[in-house]
Amino acid sequence: MSLMRYLYSRVADQMLDKLANMKMVKFPALVDNYSFIKFLGIAERAKNGKPLTEPLGSTLDFKNFQDLMFVPSMFPLPDGTPLDKKVVIGKKAKKPMELPVPFMIAAMAYGASVSKRVKLALAQASLAVGTATNSGETGFLAEEREIVKLYVVQYNRAGWNNTPEQLQQADMIEIKISQGASAGDGFRITSERIDDELREHLNLEEGQDAVMPARFPDINSVEDLKNKVEELRELTDGVPIAVKIAAGDIENDIDKLLYAGVDAIVLDGAQGETAGSPEILINNFGIPSLYALVRAAKYLEKKGAKEDVSLIMTGGFRDAADMLKGIALGADAFYIGYPVDIAAAYTQLNRLPPGASPTDLYLYDGKHTELFDIKEGADCAGNFLKALAEEMDIALRCLGKDSIHKLTKEDLVAMTEEMAQITGVKLAYPIHPIH
């Protein structure tokens, strides 16, 4: 017997011995629907005695768009047919924001989320398709504003960079009430994690923590929200005023937002990503984006507000097909975040030392953010955005549609009865009675 065969034999014998005594191998990950991630979560809580916080989005398998398929036209559009992908956000606003494509770069805040290098790379990438980028919760960033064509500034609960002079440079203001990955929770960045540059950006004293409260101190009712919308509209001379909320009590929340007079609703599904939020919120709060979109679009139609109030969806929209299906179901535009991060960073991951997490390259408190090259990241992310736009063109031509605004549920079929019930889209197959 060769040495290798002998070793294999010994290993096999040991495995059989273990399996014969299930008490040795039947740890929690093998019973009672424990995933490996659940097991690690228990271990982390046991070690630290603190609520588990996770980066990115939920680990749950939410219902997504893969059970919807487009119906190709017998008469696709000829090559060279002009295609309309433009979207106007805030049609009734004095200064509506016109997007050349129906997607924007999501709110990923410098410091609270990504590094400044990544933030500037994504700003440069937005120019590849001329779309908007969102400041995120740390608010107006002068270097970002100098780069981008269209800039959405989040009006945040901490008051960071919410000065009149800064807000007046925005193409849209987004009042950030909550988000899908963290519901209505706040956060704290401890002073030892804040470098001098970020401290200056947030106007903090030496040794002061950066604290984002759970709610606005001056927005405690629907009337307060209405007053704030009117205040910001007057301050900015009529740019669209949006409100971002986690998808929850959708119909009642929309009633409140319509009363407040918003120009756009940003609805963040439960699978929205974040730099870090409590696991209990990530996996247990909110409504997944597909359900939220269908409910919101239906209710806006019922209230007669669909044409006047823009519905911007975010959370789990990863490619052109997801977004086009979302438009057919009633969305106007989308924010995309994590996919753009991946696009910006993927060619640079090989620079990380062995054992390092990919997030070490692009999150603010990552251990190797200095390795991220801004130009390379901007080029790759820009290429990704251009590819999304071109894929939309391909799909429109095959559907025989010269505009995204002509997409409807009739352009889709559902692959399951459940998806048909959720969306109101017809089934791709007939249902035969069982005899």
Domain assignments of the chain as residue spans, ordered by start: 3-54, 65-423
The SS3 assignment for 435 reads: coil
Query: What was the pLDDT predicted at 218?
Result: 93
Q: Quick one: 328 exposed, middle or buried, by C-beta within 10 A (0-12, 13-18, 19+)?
A: buried
The domain made up of 65-423 has a fold known as TIM Barrel (3.20.20)
Query: What was the pLDDT predicted at 1?
Result: 46
**Pairwise CA distance, residues 432 & 55, whole Å:** 46
**Pairwise CA distance, residues 54 & 62, whole Å:** 17
**Pairwise CA distance, residues 228 & 262, whole Å:** 10
- The answer to whether residue 37 scores a pLDDT higher than 60 is yes
**Pairwise CA distance, residues 250 & 297, whole Å:** 10
Query: What was the pLDDT predicted at 211?
Result: 85
**What contacts 60, CB < 8 A, 6 or more positions away?**
271, 283
Q: Which residues are bridge partners to 183 per DSSP?
A: 179
pTM beyond 0.85: the answer is yes
Contact 278, 182 (CB under 8 A): yes
Compute CA 131 distance to the chain's CA centroid, rounded to the nearest angstrom: 16
Q: Comparing 248 with 57, which gets the higher pLDDT?
A: 248
**Pairwise CA distance, residues 108 & 275, whole Å:** 8
- The answer to whether residue 239 scores a pLDDT higher than 60 is yes
pLDDT tens digits, 126-185: 999 999 999 999 999 999 999 999 999 999 999 899 999 999 999 999 999 987 666 667
Contact 92, 242 (CB under 8 A): no
Q: Which range among 211-220, 256-265, 424-433 has the greatest average pLDDT?
A: 256-265
Q: Tokens 């046991």 belong to which residue?
A: 46
**Pairwise CA distance, residues 148 & 385, whole Å:** 15
Q: Which residues are bridge partners to 88 per DSSP?
A: 98
- The answer to whether residue 9 scores a pLDDT higher than 90 is no
Query: What was the pLDDT predicted at 8?
Result: 55
Supply the mean pLDDT for the chain. Answer: 88
Q: Tokens 């953010």 belong to which residue?
A: 369
Among residues 346, 251, 236, the alpha carbon closest in space to that of 294 is found at: 251
Q: Tokens 């990950």 belong to which residue?
A: 29
Query: What was the pLDDT predicted at 171?
Result: 98
Q: Which residues are bridge partners to 268 per DSSP?
A: 246, 314
pLDDT band at 45 (very low <50, low <70, confident <90, very high): low
Percent of all residues in the chain with a pLDDT value above 90, rounded to a whole number: 67
Percent of all residues in the chain with a pLDDT value above 70, rounded to a whole number: 84
Element (H, E) at 204: none
**Pairwise CA distance, residues 244 & 262, whole Å:** 10
Query: What was the pLDDT predicted at 300?
Result: 98
The SS3 assignment for 104 reads: strand
Q: Tokens 């929340």 belong to which residue?
A: 253
pLDDT tens digits, 356-381: 888 889 898 889 999 999 999 999 99
Q: Which residues are bridge partners to 363 per DSSP?
A: 114
Q: What are phi and psi of 84, to 5 degrees?
A: -100, 110
User: How many Cα atoms within 13 Å fall on the side-chain side of residue 35?
Assistant: 6
Query: What was the pLDDT predicted at 14?
Result: 63
Contact 85, 100 (CB under 8 A): yes
What does the pLDDT average to over 33-50?
Answer: 68
Q: Which residues are bridge partners to 176 per DSSP?
A: 244
Q: Tokens 């301050």 belong to which residue?
A: 235
Contact 425, 414 (CB under 8 A): yes
- The answer to whether residue 221 scores a pLDDT higher than 90 is yes
Contact 61, 51 (CB under 8 A): no
- Name the DSSP letter for residue 433: P
Picking from 282-286, 294-298, 424-428, which range would have the lowest pLDDT averaged per residue? Answer: 282-286
At 135, the amino acid letter reads S
Contact 152, 264 (CB under 8 A): no
**What contacts 157, CB < 8 A, 6 or more positions away?**
137, 176, 186, 212, 213, 214, 215, 216, 217
Contact 240, 93 (CB under 8 A): yes
Largest CA distance in the chain: 86
- The answer to whether residue 30 scores a pLDDT higher than 80 is no
Q: Which two tokens stand for residue 434?
A: 């069982």
**What contacts 353, CB < 8 A, 6 or more positions away?**
368
What does the pLDDT average to over 28-48?
Answer: 64
Query: What was the pLDDT predicted at 11?
Result: 59
- The answer to whether residue 277 scores a pLDDT higher than 80 is no
